[in-house]
Chain A
Amino acid sequence: MHVIQSKLNEASDELALVRAAKQGDVSAFEQLVKRYDRNIFRIANHITQNREDAEDVVQEAFLKAFQNLEQFQGNSKFYTWLVRIAVNESLMKLRRRRSDRTVSLDQEVETEEDTMPREVADWAPNPEQLYRQGELNEILTKTINGLPPSFRTVFVLRDIEGLSTEETAEALDLSVPAVKSRLLRARLQLRERLNKYFRKPRPGDGRLKAGD
Chain B
Amino acid sequence: MTCADFLKELTDYLDETIDAVTRAELEDHLIWCHNCYVICNTTKKTIEIYRGSQLYELPPSLRSRLESAIMSKCKSSSKKSKT
A residues in contact (CB < 8 Å) with B: 24, 26, 29-30, 33-34, 37-38, 41-42, 45-46, 54-55, 58-59, 62-63, 66-67, 115-117, 120-123, 127-128, 133, 136-137, 140-141, 144, 155, 159-160, 162, 165, 180, 183-184, 187-188, 190-191, 194-195, 198
CA of A73 to CA of B58, assembled, Å: 30
**Residues of A close to B41: CB separation below 8 A:** 122-123
In contact, A184 and B38 (Cβ under 8 angstroms): no
A137-B71 contact given A187-B46, A190-B50, CB 8 Å threshold: no
In contact, B39 and A117 (Cβ under 8 angstroms): yes
**Residues of B close to A37: CB separation below 8 A:** 58, 63, 66-67, 70
Question: Of residues 1 to 36 in B, which have CB atoms within 8 Å of A's CB atoms?
Answer: 4, 7-8, 10-12, 14-15, 17, 35
In contact, B43 and A188 (Cβ under 8 angstroms): yes
Label chain A's interface by main secondary structure: helix
In the assembled complex, how far is the CB of residue B11 from the closest CB belonging to chain A, in whole angstroms?
A: 4
